[in-house]
Amino acid sequence: MTSTDIPVHQRFNAHELFLQADRLEPCVLVIFGAAGDLTRRKLIPALYNLVHEQALDEHFAVIGYSRRPQSDEQYRAILFNGLKNYSRSQPIDDGVWQAFSKRISYVEGNFEDPEGYVALRGALEAVEQLIGSEGNRLFYFATPPSAAPVLLHRLSEAGLLQPGGAETPWTRVIMEKPYGRDLESASELNRIVAEVLQEDQVYRIDHYLGKETVQNILVARLGNTIFEPLWNRKYIDHIQITAAESIGVEGRGRFYDKTGVIRDMVQSHLLQVLSLCAMEPPVSFAADDIRDKRVEVLRSLRQFSSQEVLEHLVFGQYRGYRDEENVDPQSRTPTYAAIKCYVDNWRWQGVPFFLRVGKHLVQRMTEISVVFRPVPLCLFGRDDVCQDLEPNVLTIRIQPDEGMALKISSKRPGGEMEVGSVEMDFSYSETYTHPIKDAYERLLLDAVKGDATLFARRDEVEFAWRFVTPILDHWESAAKRQPVFYAEGSEGPGEADKLMDRYNRQWREIN
Ligand code: BG6
């Protein structure tokens, strides 16, 4: 079928979506958790870069809301310091910051106290008047999951949650991960959300979905004809997904010790990446068509029994973790996990997915490696040549060296029949001059535009929790079981290699 064979109404839909995406309505962003790390390190730098590139203009303003008493000026000064340290584009353009910072104001209030919301309402109306934003409001919960219910109740009681996520004036809410602590609390949070908001007003953020290279997974699969026919159990031996970080908990001990790697990284980021690798092609790129397919993968993830958790998972902890500030000196919280799991559907039956994620590893490296099956028969005669034949591997490098590589076999030059592995490599930095934007830039802009494609839907978070909750239950009830300790700067615990050995596979090197 050529593109002209596509029925007219479908072509028109795609065009319409594009037009919608291009139209940006004025709005005010209210950040709860305005004094927190996420705001300083990620949100304000992302907004500054959007303003710098003129994606956001003078019809956009920010109100920070938190408990700390401070003036607008003091708040802006703190944000400016964060910007100097964390903005991807440097140096900071003073003119741009000065103009933008005038549209950032601060409201002091705690999450419980209705008085704070009265003050917030006053500030919102004044800013809306000033920038002509006509009541479009975006609330960002840059807070721990436990704060979400009270924020929703108080906002609703204060009359600040108007119905409507699409028609103007709109109200949308961005909610940070982790969305709940387990299946029960996530379902309960979804229930509370549904009492005060419609689903199209809710933007559950997982910043991995906003990464350029994570979006490239679908383009690599569906924008090329050569991969998709091979993308199944017939040709793929296994898939490895690695998210290695070189940093530790970075002063977030209090949060991390209660959270651990399964809630912090697996439930959200890793399962989203897995879904994009394993999902069926959607009927279109509209938000719900893509989300439907991601959800199908999460639904198909085989759930672990307690015995299987023992067999298929490795929990690790870096050696210095217990000495980190605000971490329990006896803590069992895992900072590393290796998991072998299965997607039980027609396409993937029997193909293991190996996930590996951890802090304080030798290097920062997030990648997906699709390891293909060996050739059915080696025709090159001698045994030693056949032993040199390695399987094809397609690697999608998410970060930091963004790109893709395909390992293939080729004849070594010379009279003898000798075979070696070579790599075809595409690197973003060598191919494109355009800088790779931070994921939060893309996601904040999408939320302002009303495009929820890269955000998790209600059922999506619940199915992800359904998979990880038995893992957490097992770990949290096995009080005597200690994580395996690994050296900082290593590739993780040796037990993770043994997990692979048991299935005659090998992790790719973290380098
Ligand atoms: C966050 C986690 O969601 O993702 C952090 O809370 C982690 O613990 C971070 O460090 C990793 O994100 P990135 O974009 O640096 O891979």
- Per the annotation, binding residues for substrate are 207, 211, 245, 264, 359
Q: How confident is the model at residue 14 (pLDDT cuts 50, 70, 90)?
A: very low
Q: Is 491 in the pocket of ligand 1 (CB under 6 A)?
A: no
**Do 297 and 360 share a domain, yes or no?**
yes
Query: Is 269 one of the annotated active-site residues of the chain?
Result: yes
Q: Is 245 in the pocket of ligand 1 (CB under 6 A)?
A: yes
Residues 193 and 151 in one domain: yes
User: pLDDT above 70 covers what percent of the chain?
Assistant: 95
Is 131 a member of any domain? yes
Buried b (16+ CB within 10 A) or exposed e, 190-227: bebbeebbeebbbbbbbbbbbbbbbbbbbebbeeeeee
State if residue 257 touches ligand 1 by the CB under 6 angstroms criterion.
no
Distance CA 498, CA 50 (A): 46
Shared domain check, 98 and 145: yes
Q: Let me know whether 141 and 274 are in one domain.
A: no
Tens-place pLDDT, residues 454-475: 999 999 999 999 999 999 999 9
Is the C-beta atom of 460 inside 6 A of ligand 1?
A: no
Q: Is residue 4 part of a domain?
A: no
In a mutational test of the pocket of ligand 1, which residue from 264, 321, 356 has the highest number of ligand atoms less than 8 Å from its CB?
264
User: Residue 14 falls within a domain, yes or no?
Assistant: no
Mutate to test the pocket of ligand 1, among 41, 245, 246, 261 (most ligand atoms within 8 A of CB): 245
Query: Which pLDDT score, from 0 to 100, does residue 16 have?
Result: 42
Q: Is the pLDDT of residue 194 over 90?
A: yes
Burial class of residue 244 in the structure, from the number of CB atoms within 10 Å of its CB (0-12 exposed, 13-18 middle, 19+ buried): buried
Q: What's residue 12's pLDDT?
A: 38
Q: Is 264 in the pocket of ligand 1 (CB under 6 A)?
A: yes
Q: Which residues make up each annotated binding site for NADP(+)?
A: 67, 177
Between the CA of 247 and the centroid of ligand 1 the distance, in Å, is 10
Q: What is d(CA 492, CA 335) in angstroms, rounded to the nearest whole number?
A: 10
Check whether 166 has a pLDDT greater than 90.
Answer: no
Ligand 1 centroid–CA 84 distance in Å is: 20
Per-residue model confidence as pLDDT tens digits over 388-419: 789 999 999 999 999 999 999 999 898 788 88
Give the number of the atom of ligand 1 that is nearest the alpha carbon of residue 247.
10
The rounded Å distance from CA 392 to ligand 1 centre is 30
Please tell me whether residues 94 and 218 are part of one structural domain.
Answer: no
Report pLDDT digits (tens) over 308-328. 998 999 999 999 999 999 999
The domain that holds 430 is classified in CATH as: 3.30.360.10
**Quick one: average pLDDT of 322-344?**
97
For residue 268, the ligand 1 atom closest to its alpha carbon is: 3
What is the side-by-side strand order in the sheet with 336-342?
419-427, 403-411, 393-399, 365-372, 236-244, 352-358, 336-342, 313-318, 484-486
How many A from CA of 184 to the centre of ligand 1?
Answer: 24
In a domain, 447, yes or no: no
On whether both 161 and 124 belong to a single domain, the answer is yes
In this structure, the answer to whether residues 134 and 41 fall within a common structural domain is yes
Taking the centre of ligand 1 as the mean of its atom positions, its distance from the CA of residue 230, in whole angstroms, is 32
Region 68-89: mean pLDDT is 96
Closest ligand 1 atom number to CA of residue 366: 16
- Cβ atoms within 10 Å of 132's Cβ, excluding its own: 9
- Find the CATH number of the domain harbouring 96: 3.40.50.720
Give the ligand 1 atom nearest the CA of 398. Answer: 16
Residue 2 pLDDT greater than 50, yes or no: no
* Angle ∠(59,63,69) on CA atoms, nearest 5: 155
Closest ligand 1 atom, residue 211 Cα: 14
Assess whether the C-beta atom of 176 lies below 6 angstroms from ligand 1: no
135 and 72 part of one domain? yes
How many independent structural domains does the chain possess? 2
CA 456/CA 210 separation, integer angstroms: 11
Domain match, 201 and 217 both: no
Identify the pLDDT of residue 84. 96
In whole angstroms, what is the distance from residue 497 CA to residue 265 CA?
A: 20
Identify the residue whose C-alpha is closest to ligand 1 atom 13: 208
pLDDT at 21 (0 to 100): 44
The protein residue whose alpha carbon is closest to atom 15 in ligand 1 is 245
**At residue 488, does pLDDT exceed 60?**
yes
Domain that residue 339 falls in: 212-435+457-502
Q: Is 478 exposed, middle or buried (0-12, 13-18, 19+ CB in 10 A)?
A: middle
Say if residues 124 and 28 touch (Cβ distance below 8 Å).
yes
What pLDDT is attached to residue 377? 85
User: Does residue 100 sit in the same domain as residue 228?
Assistant: no
What's the token pair of residue 1? 């079928």
- Using a 6 Å cutoff on CB, does residue 402 contact ligand 1? no
Mean pLDDT of 264-286: 96
Confidence at residue 20, expressed as pLDDT on a 0 to 100 scale: 43
* Positions of E strands within 429-489: 484-486
Q: Of 205, 234, 251, which marks where a domain is finished? A: 205
Q: Give the 3-state secondary structure of residue 137.
A: strand
465 lies in a domain?
yes
Q: How far is the CA of 206 from the centre of ligand 1 (A)?
A: 10
Residue 18, in any domain of the structure: no
144 and 270 inside one domain: no
Closest CA to ligand 1's atom 4: 265
Domain boundary among 156, 178, 205: 205
Active-site position among 15, 59, 153, 269: 269
CA gap 373, 356 in Å, rounded: 21
Tell me if 451 is assigned to some domain: no
Kindly write down the DSSP assignment for every residue of 14-56, as one continuous string. HHHHHHHHH----EEEEEESTTSHHIIIIIHHHHHHHHHTTSS
CA of 125 to the centre of ligand 1 (A): 35
Q: Considering just the CA atoms, what is the radius of gyration of the chain in Å?
A: 24
Q: Helix, strand or coil for residue 112?
A: coil
- Do the beta carbons of residue 361 and residue 245 sit within 8 Å? yes
Residue 431: helix, strand or coil by DSSP? helix
Same-domain check for residues 149 and 189:
yes
pLDDT tens for each residue of 344-376? 999 999 999 999 999 999 999 999 999 999 998
Domain endpoint, select from 166, 187, 205: 205
Residue 42 lies in a domain: yes
DSSP annotation of 268: I
